[in-house]
Structure 1
């Protein structure tokens, strides 16, 4: 028998998952605005600088500053929501991150797509785990029905709290063993 409290809890949980999905969609839209707006404008400025009638060393210096600003803007946009995560999925985005940081990580991530909320939450949870784990890690991820299952081997079990912070708002779960963290992120 379902009580009114059970129905309220279910409604609250559903509303929380919807808010979290909206959160990831807002992050993605913000990243696109930065890329499609400011980044394109800065790129255009760099090209226009190349045709100015001024001493070459001044133009080169200005182009260098513009290029630095564009790199910083791209880094901010990628921190909000990596374009590769949206375009290609969790596996390629994690591989790019591992290569960029030089982390000692073995990745085994299936090509199955799971939606921006689940993939975004898993990605940012894993980024935090990578940052907090000095030793080698083994990260596996695959879709199991309606869930994205992420297994992190070699991680400090205390980092399960970081993963839980991303999984729980979506209705996901996290289990931590002595050297393994297993998280389930609902795909819906």
Structure 2
């Protein structure tokens, strides 16, 4: 399932929008997620001290439910702004998405960083494209590079119609897209600082 995007532009500008997403992700992780983890740990200690087996089993079930809620909260936080995108960049974050697709996907990147707003917008556009790949689709490659003052994203093996969000994102950021011969490669070129 593709991440559900929030608006990319808020009153303070695109960088502020992506920084707000990062802040919300961190608040979810550092607040409720840590408290749930602490509660699950306390319940585990209580169940080991409990002499009543039925009560210990009940505590274990509540602990399992807390772990499930914690996982759901982490998934939600990752949809706001994936921690790996902030920590390691576009290539590694997209590799993580590719691991969960129904088709083989190769991510080739220069490991350069392109700024919070640009990485966030292009990540969500490409993640949506990759998440929509059907089971058994042919191999896909996403190449990420810098050419002069442009971020270049070349997507091979995906129908041009399936890259609509990427094309729209490129245009909204002042860039352009080109579709190669027979639709084999869609290339987005987006200005970057």
TM-score in terms of structure 1 length: 0.84
Does the 8 Å contact 1:17/1:170 carry over to 2?
no
Call closer, same or farther: CA 1:161–1:148 in 2, change over 3 Å.
Answer: same
TM-score in terms of structure 2 length: 0.82
Question: Which ranges of 4 or more aligned residues in structure 1 deviate by more than 3 Å?
Answer: 15-18
- The superposition leaves residues 123-144 of structure 1 with CA deviations (integer Å, 9 ceiling, x where unpaired) of 1111111123332211100122
Gaps of 5+ in 1: 1-14
Aligned residues: 174
Tell me which residue corresponds to 2:86: 86
CA distance in 1, matches of 2:67, 2:171: 39
Does the 8 Å contact 1:167/1:183 carry over to 2?
yes
Call closer, same or farther: CA 1:34–1:103 in 2, change over 3 Å.
Answer: farther
Does the 8 Å contact 2:101/2:133 carry over to 1?
no
CA distance in 2, matches of 1:148, 1:58: 54
Call closer, same or farther: CA 1:149–1:128 in 2, change over 3 Å.
Answer: same
Does the 8 Å contact 1:113/1:143 carry over to 2?
no
Q: Secondary structure at the match of 1:97?
A: helix
Q: 1:38: how far off?
A: 1.1
